[in-house]
Amino acid sequence: MTRAMAARLLATLLLATTPLTTGQIAASSGAAPGRARNVAPLSPASLPWYMRETAMTEEGRLTFLTKPWWPKAQALADGERFTLDLDGNGRPETIVTRQNGHIVEAIDDSGRAEEIWNRASTAYLVSFKGTGLVDRLVDYIDNDDDGRADEMELRYYRDGYLRYAWFGENYDDDGAQIFGLKEWSYAGEEGINRFRGNLQIFLNKYDPVTKEWLPLSECPFAFWDDDGDGHGDTVLRVSAAPLASLTGPDTDYANNYDYMWAPQATPLGELGNVNVRLSFNLDVEPRPEGVDAPHYTFGFTMVGRAPYDYPDMTYTNPRRRPPQTVRRIAWKRGIAVGLRYPAQETGFTWDESRSVRRWEGQFWIYERVYLSNTGGPTTRWNMRREYSPTPSSARAIYYSDADKRYHLFGATEGWLEAGYLVEPRKDLEFRWFDTDRDGYLDTVQVFLPDRPTPVRVARFTPRARRVPLDREALTREYHERVLPRAIEENRQIIAALKNVARSPAATAYEAEAARASHPERIRYCLDIARELHYLAVRDALYARAAAGPYPSRERDGRKRRSMDPGSLETGYSMGDSLRFWRMTKEIEAFSQRYDEGRYVEAARALDALASALPVR
């Protein structure tokens, strides 16, 4: 990691741990290395030649129709090109070409590049099918003149009128392309995007009335790479939308592109930060996968109505084409915003099977509990969801020794659907509740897919402790203590369970655990195998207890005080009654230890029970 990167990350950590007033972030001066500092916008007359070439009309329209070179461009065949010397220095710095029917004007803003088409300080203006109206402007901005782009923006026009733009700021100073493109547009999942490392992207809507950029939709999507390995370790996504939309006809406003394409914009004073997603990765470094396989372990999804008003949210770059000032949460403040967002309700997601490879992090799903402006879609299976309806101004988690997991403090309910991992079916569902409303989940219900009622209901003591949201400390504890202990205890209890009875459905999970290389997946597969085996053992034990004459037969009067066994034909003896009740209590004692997550004790109790009354 470079010194500059280390300094940025230290500043982020300090901001994240500094007490702040609700809804506010402490002010900090200075710009990130490799970034232009905020300056006043230039007047139109003083714009450099390349900005004059791409200037919009007063109405916000941009076309090629009045360019002196337009007739020549119209005559181009596909693949043909010509060059222009717009700055008058005797050296061409502009290419006009036709590609796939589109007319493209590529401008080297530096005026001195060996290759104009170099995506360093180059702007590409595109007229789809050569109509003369500009549809896209793709701009690469090199802030420190090292020949590598530090920023990228994609401007979207309709009928030549500017509507909105995607912006990207790369703080790793490696010149990597931020947005993958398809047909001169953000390609989304179809492109190779650089959404990782130390970087942020964001959307701004153009306001033709005030002629300025305003936050909208994903503003920002920000990433932090603590150790410089190119992965994302933390990711933040903020949804900007009108505050009134939370109670309007479209409560998913931030995810609707119709508002981005609309001719008019919502004034800044009416905009809010209405949804925040904050995710963390807890993998041990170096990660087993490459940077093209992103992973985040858990994440918060929060809904609120905070005004979109943050220190340092305006950023003016004099190398940007007007409007030069954008609005977004400053990257150095992003984690603190996520940690202290005034949420009205919160969702919590944990990727239990380590299966989700989304660069966006772990976030909520539009099922069971609706959280507006969440986004998606994301994965349903093997994802632990917890929900808190209680307003909170700080993120808080706790560790429960009952299930050896981290949970959302204040969650009143949760669920996990296990399945579609080892076989194409649902195998189990867990539901959790906080019955005494003390902030800790204390009751679990377990369901089999073919049973509408729970097959296990347990009230347990959480044995909880609050845990600071320190990613490095969590990673160490998770991998050095929590996962090894959970795996070892699972193996002990599974061995004891299989001495009594076995679940055929559990076999595939044990096999997957044996194949898996990551401890998180091993632990999860053993968790599911353990629960399936337990249900089979519990049923077998109760069936064994009920198999004698006592539960359903009349007493054999000849053996009313005899310890000798009776029979189903003649009736039960006193000994049958005593043995039945003793076994029932031993089964209950074993089950209570299991319900409390005391698996080593449960294994010992089961071994003793099985040796006295073997069940095969």
Residues 220 and 160 in one domain: no
Residues 165 and 244 in one domain: no
pLDDT for 1 equals 44
Tell which residue, 342, 476, 470, 410, has the closest CA to residue 17: 470
Residues 227 and 279 in one domain: yes
Inter-residue contact 420 to 426 (CB < 8 Å):
yes
Residue 407 maps to a domain: no
Residue 489 maps to a domain: yes
Residue 391 maps to a domain: no
Give the domain-ending residue among 313, 347, 381: 347
Residue 465 maps to a domain: no
Query: Which residues in the chain come in under a pLDDT of 70?
Result: 1-44, 377, 613-616
Give me the number of domains the chain comprises: 3
Residues 229 and 341 in one domain: yes
Residues 53 and 26 in one domain: no
N- to C-terminal Cα distance for the chain?
A: 59
CA distances in angstroms from 410 to 187, 306, 347, 432, 441, listed in the order given: 39, 21, 10, 12, 8
Residues 183 and 306 in one domain: no
Residues 105 and 216 in one domain: no
Residue 197 maps to a domain: no
Residues 237 and 183 in one domain: no
Domain of residue 187, residue span: 38-191
Tell which residue, 267, 318, 229, 272, has the closest CA to residue 40: 318
Tell which residue, 478, 351, 30, 2, has the closest CA to residue 197: 2
Cα–Cα distance measured from residue 461 to residue 596, given in angstroms and rounded to the nearest whole number: 7
CA distances in angstroms from 319 to 141, 176, 202, listed in the order given: 7, 19, 18
Residues 497 and 593 in one domain: yes
Around Cβ 3, how many Cβ atoms within 10 Å? 8
316 half-sphere exposure, CB direction, 13 A CA radius: 9
What's the burial of 420, exposed, middle or buried (CB within 10 Å: 0-12/13-18/19+)? middle
Cα–Cα distance measured from residue 240 to residue 262, given in angstroms and rounded to the nearest whole number: 16
Residues 105 and 123 in one domain: yes
96: enclosing H helix or E strand: strand 94-99
Residues 602 and 517 in one domain: yes
Task: Give me 166's structure tokens.
Answer: 């995607």
pLDDT for 288 equals 85
pLDDT for 42 equals 53
Beta-strand pair 185-186/136-141: unpaired
Residues 52 and 180 in one domain: yes
Report the helix count and the strand count for the chain, using DSSP H and E.
11, 26
Residue 47 maps to a domain: yes
Inter-residue contact 566 to 559 (CB < 8 Å):
yes
Residue 460 maps to a domain: no
Give the domain-ending residue among 163, 191, 219: 191
Residue 387 maps to a domain: no
Give the domain-ending residue among 347, 366, 394: 347
The stretches of 49-206 forming alpha helices (DSSP H) are 49-53, 70-74
